[in-house]
Every structure is written in C-alpha cells, then in structure tokens.
C-alpha cells in the first residue's frame, strides 16, 4: 500500500483525468479544477449530465461515455453522487480516486475500500497545481 504522498505523486504524474462534477460556474471548484488540469497539460475530461459542452469542449454524462479510460477520477460532487461513481470507476478499471474536500463521507470511504480503489482524502488538485505555477 502506498503512502498518501506516494499515491498523490503517482496521481499527479498520471496524464489523463476525469473531473466528475464539472460546472460552467467559474467560481466553483468543479470548474477551477477542470480548467487548471488542462492548463497544466493533463488530458482532462469533464463529466456531468448537466452539460453537453463547456467553452467548446465536449462534456460527458458519465465515466462510461468517455472516449478513453482516465487514470484518475477527481470527485467534485456530493457524497450521495460519489458513492455511485465508485462502482462505475471500478467496472471500468479506474483505480485512482481523488476526493476533493466535501465529496465523501464514511459510507463513501467504506465503499472505496470494499471496491479496492486507491484514493486520497483531504487534499485538493487545484491547490496543488496552483502552487506549481
């Protein structure tokens, strides 16, 4: 089992990401994280059933609709949505989940453990990449 730092390093060197909960609201982290990942050269896919596209970029209704299997799923949704995304990620063979603050609870963490997923809690992709600018 990797330490949180090793796991984070592995995730941050993974080049393809799906941001679950992407939004067109530029004040929200669902937008900021999607945007900063792209700005840093990551192959980034937005996932939300609420949008067909944002800024001319296609947005997908679910992980299974993505054209490629991302290496990392970044959760920017409420725990009641996160818990369902975990099953989908596992079915697709995506093992790395980055939970943004507020996107998980004890039930979600238990489910991630049961599915054998590797995940990070209490960290933020946006803050991490912001520091690297």
Pairing type for strands 53-54 and 118-120 reads unpaired
pLDDT digits (tens, 9 = 90+) for 59-106: 999 999 999 999 999 999 999 999 999 999 999 999 999 999 999 999
State the pTM of this model: 0.95
pLDDT digits (tens, 9 = 90+) for 4-51: 999 999 999 999 999 999 999 999 999 999 999 999 999 999 999 999
Reduced to 3 states (helix: H, G, I; strand: E, B; else coil), residue 45 is: strand
What is the dotted CATH code of the domain comprising 4-43+50-132? 3.40.50.720
Domain ranges of the chain: 4-43+50-132
Pairing type for strands 16-20 and 53-54 reads unpaired
């Amino acid at each position: 089992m990797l330490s949180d730092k090793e796991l984070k390093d592995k995730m941050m060197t993974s080049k393809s990401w799906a941001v679950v909960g992407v939004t067109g609201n530029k004040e929200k982290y669902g937008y900021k994280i999607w945007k900063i990942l792209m700005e840093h050269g990551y192959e980034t896919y937005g996932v939300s059933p609420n949008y067909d596209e944002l800024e001319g970029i296609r947005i997908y209704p679910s992980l299974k609709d993505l054209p490629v299997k991302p290496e990392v799923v970044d959760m920017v949704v409420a725990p009641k949505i996160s818990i369902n995304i975990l099953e989908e990620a596992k079915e697709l063979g995506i093992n790395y989940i980055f939970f943004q603050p507020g996107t998980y609870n004890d039930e979600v963490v238990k489910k991630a453990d049961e599915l054998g997923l590797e995940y990070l809690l209490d960290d933020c992709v946006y803050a991490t990449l912001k520091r690297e600018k």
